Structure 1
């Protein structure tokens, strides 16, 4: 009698989605275990609570102020904190793997550079989103514990826009990391980009407006090129605050576009997410992992 033959199932190569999710899970676990995640979360929560105290003192109250009063302060805090956090996290990701030889090991596996990049992006993005959620959640929880009313829509809008800004800056950080060969160079470049976006761009815009006599339409168009300015305008617009506080360009945007500002701001931040990530994928595919 012949033994019955049973078909041996063929081994299936991991799919692109499986590879991406595996790398994303590893990046998320590494980020949560690292010191930068804990430090950034604690620092963001502490600074958010500090903004609440300062806002209350400035308005003549005592203790923590209501969340609506602290929105402007938290927007400014996010403008300084989130881009630095996302840029440095992205900049140190690929460059550090290249220095340690880990990138060559990953590319030797049945995975593509694009899958590796997307996995890192999703994993780090999830870690950044968790950091922001914990920080803003701690601030809102402290306000609620003191019996002060909070506006859930303001919290959700600020959290959502903060995540969008973080994802855009993370794309830029990964692009820097894909082009740099050393971690120190990548992180240094990321800090320089942060300084340029936060400080130099505003000064250059004001100087250009005076020297070149730019029209209000041109000022608004140039402001749309800066993701930090877009975040500020969108946050104020979502909080039903007047954009007049941003000067003539803000007044022009409110009167000219009105409700259409939401898709305009959304398209601008989406471009900052997609364009750098695409360039990073091209750079990672064409450069040696060593």
Structure 2
């Protein structure tokens, strides 16, 4: 059940953004004065005609077995976790454009597991990366990427694609949304994998209107972005590229947030804005 109040920062100084995955270029955080705003107040000011949500996995819980069979991990061949992602077709995984490492390394896709220790028999080779051609690494506009697998993934109870939205669809601000990932579960948390949980976590998140979100971030919040999450339930370092799922539909891709998890809403790339590009890439690669 989604919480009925959202704690939003009302400070005048905007918090600098950080990528939400381990090899990030995080900005310095600033102290924030917070006060609780009842969800109704946000709805009255809401400009998200049909909104979306986000999650880190701050304040989350372990997923039930095979309840998110679309979840994927991008990792190096020496098991460094780079980002999360999600399966949308037998040969295609979606993630964030900033997850494309500039380092010369082999990247693999892991599918069908909740525990990273069980990944050995669930690894798939990548044929090609399709970073959005208008991706801007400074503004993080168009932070979306498609990853083509070498071979199609056979579907079973552990591996299934997630549905995508209709073009330019907006979702209600009251939509029930959640996110999942293998990122940090609390600020300052480090386990044996560095900054990643070894088990897939999920959390319900609440949408934040773009106007409110824009007042909290240095980067411009555009119509191609969605904001969600608060200081208790949010996305964190390690969750980049994962999906924002609302009513069973993947509506967003985790893009950026604050260095200190929960200081600001997480910002997602809004998938419905990119369906023509997605369809064109998949068609041209067939």
Provide TM-score, normalisation by structure 2: 0.22
Larger RCO: 1 or 2 (CA < 8 Å, sep 6+): 2
Q: Return the index of the structure with the highest Cα Rg.
A: 1
Looking at secondary structure, tell me which structure has more helix per residue.
1
Query: Which TM-score applies when normalising by structure 1?
Result: 0.22
Higher strand share: 2
